[in-house]
Every structure is written in C-alpha cells, then in structure tokens.
Amino acid sequence: MIMLAKNSYGKSRVRLAKVKRHPDRHDFREWTVEILLEGDFESCFVEGDNSKILPTDTMKNTVYSLARTSSAECIEEFGKELLAFFLDRNPQISAARVTMSAKAWEHLHTGGTPHPTAFVEASAECQTAEVAAKRNEAPAIRSGFENLAILKTAGSEFAGFIKDSLTTLPESTDRLLGTSARARWKYSSPGVPFVPLRSKIREVLLNVFAGHASKSLQHTLYAMGETVLRNVPEVEDIELTMPNKHFLLADLSRFGQDNPNEIFVPIDEPHGTIEARLRRQG
C-alpha cells in the first residue's frame, strides 16, 4: 500500500520593498518571504482535487496586501502576522511556516549627516527569521543572520592537531582568522522585544569574536554561543555556522624578501566548515 507520508507547499522568493514616509525622513525595508503550508491536501496530491488548495499566487498577493496595513517594524513581527492570517482563514491548514530575510539598507550619509530619503546597502549581511506554528499553538520563532563577514588579525592560533603522512599544514600561533558567519537562535517566547534583542545578541557575538584568545575556530564558536546563552535569558538555543576562510602566508623567500606575517593570499575555496548548536541543560 502506498500513502502520502508528509507534504507541504507554498510560495518562495516573494520580494517586498516598503517605504514608510515620515515628515522628516523615509524608512526603507527590503524583505524576502517564503511561506510553506501543511494540512489536509492529500486529495490534491492523490486525486488531483484542488478544492482545498490556496493558490501560491494568492499567498504572494497576501504578502503585499498585509504589508500595506501592517505596523510591523521587523521581520519577526511581520512573520507572526502572516502566520495568523493564513491559519485564521484556512481551516484545512494544520501548520504553517514563514521564513524571511532582510537586506541591510541604511541612510546614506552626505556632508556627515544621514540623508532623509537616500539609502545605501551597508553589507552583504542579512537578517533572518523563521516563524512556525501548528494550529492552536503559540508560534516558535528563530531569528538570526547570515553572510556576516568578520576577521581578526591577532589572538588566533591553531596548533597541536593530528599530523599524519598527508598533513602539510604547519602549526601557527599567530594567524588571521576570517569567516562569513551564520547564526540562528530560538526565543523562549513569541512575545519578546525582537529588535533590541537582535542587536544585543549580535553585539555579544562580535565582542566575543574580537576578544577571544582563539585556539581554533571551534573554540571561538563555542565561546560566542556560550556567552549569548549566559547573557540573554530569552534565548533557548543557538546554532552557529562559521566557515574558516583561509589566509595563507605568501612565500616571498624566492624574491629575497622576508614576510613577517604581513602578506597573505586569501583562499575562499576550499574552506573549512565549523558548525554547532548550543543549548542550556535541564
């Protein structure tokens, strides 16, 4: 016997830009939305009966319509609004998940002051959020960021590792440590102050990265996550993914020159990948 085990469907890469016009300035946001629904859709898959299917084009339209009246100041709040909208209007839906990302647009500075209506994309970093819930249950919210490029030129070493017949990497007690970090953390409640907590968590992570006496990227990753959990009680767990973007010391000896740890060759590929999830015990 064949049965439909699990299924979901929805709309991905729905791009939304919103301008909030104040008398003295404008605010600009650019968000990307993905909506996935689970529920009583077996008749569509098995029999081709679409009577319980909300078109994905309607999901796209919902994003723009809801954005027009929404007062949400962050992707977490807008995700909660979308989730409630779909669950309230569609009894055939048993669970829904909204995943969002936000680009880092900031006011452009001219003459040393922020321009009220001109913007610049600050970096490749983007904020992320996932809001998911089953019907009649409170939503679970994970926030985070990705593509955060960070680097330190001191306070990092890598030594004492396994050496076998294929090992060519020399030990280092003073190396460059660079990564493009991704973080995701789960909040203990759907009603926390998302904007200030996001800023606090990001600041904690960056402060630890900068000041940690690193024995390895694993060592620093753990210290970053541990410090968040110790200092932000609203966070239940945190996942960190930190590729090790290598900087290889350039050999200048063939040119009759020394290299006192100053000239490097950046290597994007291949790179190491370090990831871990930390949570409180009990």
Catalytic positions are: 11, 56, 246
Cis check: omega of the bond before 243, within 30 degrees of 0: no
How far apart are the C-alpha atoms of 245 and 235, rounded to whole Å? 28
Distances (CA, A) of 256 to 60, 253, 259, 261: 63, 5, 10, 16
Residues 243, 179 contacting (CB under 8 angstroms): yes
To the nearest 10°, the Cα dihedral for 45, 48, 51, 53? 40
Evaluate whether 239 touches 276 at the Cβ level (below 8 Å). Answer: yes
Hey, what amino acid is at 263?
A: I
Distance CA 93, CA 82 (A): 13
Report which DSSP code applies to 40.
S
How many CA atoms does the CB half-sphere of 152 hold within 13 Å?
18
